[in-house]
Amino acid sequence: MYDIVFTRHSGWIPNVIREDGELMLTLGAGADANHEPRTFTFPISEAHLAVIREDLARHLLLWSAVLPLCDAAGTRGRLDENAAVALLDPILLAAPADVDALFQRIRWDRSRLIAHGADIALLERGQVCAAMRSATETSNGKRAQEYHANRRRAERGKVLGPLDAAMLRYTGQYLHGASVVRRTPDAVDAALLPEVRRVVATAEQACAGMRIGRDPRRGKHATDKRDWERMKTTVETAVRRAHPGLADDAVHTVSLLMCSEAASRARNAPMDDEETVGLHAHIDEGARKTLLLFTDDKDVEKKWQQNSPRTATAEFWDFVATRSSADNEVFTIEDEEMGEGIQLHFYADSIARITTLRKGTDTSEPEYRVQYSLVDGMSGYRNLVSTFVRGGCAALEQHGPWISDVAEFERARRRRNPR
């Protein structure tokens, strides 16, 4: 059992306890193997307690210096108690100049001091005692996050102007580039918000009418990387032209916002909306399919009939999204009645159209004509599937060239994708 002798309002700042008659400093830091917080203690004297009570700055400096020792203990190691005790006099009882000199030689947690209001410029100059004159008992974690974000940019040679920083705050990317991009106008200074909105309007106008489709080859919620890159390039080109003073980070964050919103719209839209719009092929409406069989490379089948509640293309791409994987990249659509079908080879960005020239009999095998063509990404696959469903193999003729010779086709594929 122990008694709490001194504590501050902030629960994380180290407390002083008395255990078996001995004064101890106790703090929570790090985590064990089960991700539970670890608690460390080491002995202090009455003289140390007196300084901790009266001097918030020294208390915080001690905490900052002890935290690296706690980190070194890891998930199950013991605190180096001797090293911790050795910090007490030099931090709590020494003259400010000596404390500054000590912090030039030891490891310490800079972010902890910044979160508690330390003057960043003075910290950078090594004047830790002077920097702590502005220290507060309450913590502002966001201040420390912003400091580290700026340091990371500085290490990359990136310097943000006021509008650049405002753009990153607007999209929620100022603190960390991995944050979910979103519109947060309340995070932007009111004086800069109109200018931020003008940049966003430029981006919106640049990508008006563009869309990012889904890519069922990579699952139900994946989107087309090529569509994403196309929109990204379009937006960034327009924004750089209209706002040449913006830093690359600011330009990137607004393109990321546009692409993320377009991708979100695609994920939330019904699969039926993925139908290719405005096909230019002259398709005989009477050639539309009435019964189709979908198969994958694992011999799983799914049938679609004309009276189904969803379109054939929607059903097929849903089948692909459900079944596609690294070892399942060949999918077929077959019209048994008409004796024709297409086979999609996602691993090779190619397609085969297959027509039955002669049906098999008891004494002979069926004869097929197989022709191959290269496919230009997911949008190309969507177009070809929709065209086949609407008009069969005949409607695919204009989407060639179609190559019958396998060796010739492989040469064409290698020319497009040289290794």
pLDDT tens for the chain, 419 residues: list them. 789 999 998 778 999 999 999 999 999 988 888 888 899 999 999 999 999 999 999 999 999 999 999 999 998 899 999 999 999 999 999 999 999 999 999 999 999 999 999 999 999 999 999 999 999 999 998 899 888 888 888 888 788 899 999 999 999 998 876 678 999 999 999 999 999 999 999 999 999 999 999 999 998 889 999 999 999 999 999 999 999 999 999 999 999 999 999 999 988 877 665 554 444 445 555 567 889 999 999 999 999 998 888 899 999 999 999 999 999 999 999 999 899 999 999 999 999 999 998 887 777 788 889 999 999 999 999 999 999 999 999 999 999 899 999 999 989 888 887 65
| Rg of the chain taking only CA atoms, in angstroms | 33
| Terminal Cα distance for the chain, rounded | 70
CA distance 356 to 222: 35
Chain center to CA of 3 = 47
β-bridge partners, 18: 3, 23
Residue 223 DSSP one-character state:
B
CA distance 120 to 111: 10
Judging by beta carbons within 10 Å of its beta carbon (0-12, 13-18, 19+), is residue 188 exposed, middle or buried? Answer: buried
Q: So what's the pLDDT on residue 287?
A: 62
Q: So what's the pLDDT on residue 122?
A: 97
Strands 330-335 and 367-374: unpaired
β-bridge partners, 354: 341, 370
Q: So what's the pLDDT on residue 35?
A: 84
Contact 120, 145 (CB under 8 A): no
3-state DSSP assignment of residue 210: coil
Q: Is the peptide bond before 401 cis (omega within 30 degrees of 0)?
A: yes
Q: So what's the pLDDT on residue 180?
A: 84
Contact 114, 85 (CB under 8 A): no
The residue type at 414: R
CA distance 235 to 253: 11
CA distance 224 to 187: 31
Q: Tokens 């080491």 belong to which residue?
A: 42
Q: So what's the pLDDT on residue 163?
A: 96
